[in-house]
Amino acid sequence: MRTIRRLAPTLCLVLALTACADADAPEPSGAAAPGTPAAADAASSAAGSAPAGDSTPVSAKEVCAYLDGQLPTLRGIGSETGTMANLTVNLYSWYEKQGAVPTGRQIDDQTRQECPATRTEVLELAGMESFERL
């Protein structure tokens, strides 16, 4: 019960961020109907493919250093759902401060090349196979 009380605010924030992101996402063009996996993929690619403003993308080294620093916190959470919620909120916030929010696929590509062991541990703790789930 205590864990649920601790996770409730985080989960609410994740849901709110998801709702805001969906409301601001451009409508995908093409034959994919809203709500289909193809439409969801198109919307997430369109929303996260370009850096915000004139900023440069975050380097793979910076992403890996951030994730390495987050590992002690993520290990201490104790549940995949809580870890995923924490990772979603904190990683998105960190990227916003850097000025560019990449797609999950871009994060996967960077972490596969630069820090595969860290990537694997973070994803396992969050119960995910890929950062595309974020």
Mean pLDDT (the chain, rounded): 74
Among the listed residues 64, 32, 26, the one whose alpha carbon sits nearest the alpha carbon of residue 48: 26
Q: Which of 1-5, 36-40, 73-77, 121-125 has the lowest mean pLDDT?
A: 36-40
Look at the chain and report how many structural domains it folds into.
1
Burial (0-12, 13-18, 19+ Cβ within 10 Å), 78: exposed
Q: Which residue has the tokens 């595309």?
A: 132
Question: What is the spatial distance between Cα 86 and Cα 125, in angstroms, rounded to a whole number?
Answer: 11
Q: Which domain holds residue 116?
A: 2-133
**pTM for this entry:** 0.60
Q: What is the pLDDT of residue 134?
A: 84
Q: Are 100 and 55 in contact (CB under 8 A)?
A: yes
Which residue from 46, 16, 12 is spatially nearest to 29, judged by alpha carbons?
A: 46
- Reported as a pLDDT band with limits 50, 70 and 90, residue 9 is low
Look at residue 25 and give its three-state secondary structure.
coil
The arithmetic mean of pLDDT across residues 37-50, rounded, is: 40
Q: Could you tell me which residue, 45 or 103, shows the higher pLDDT?
A: 103
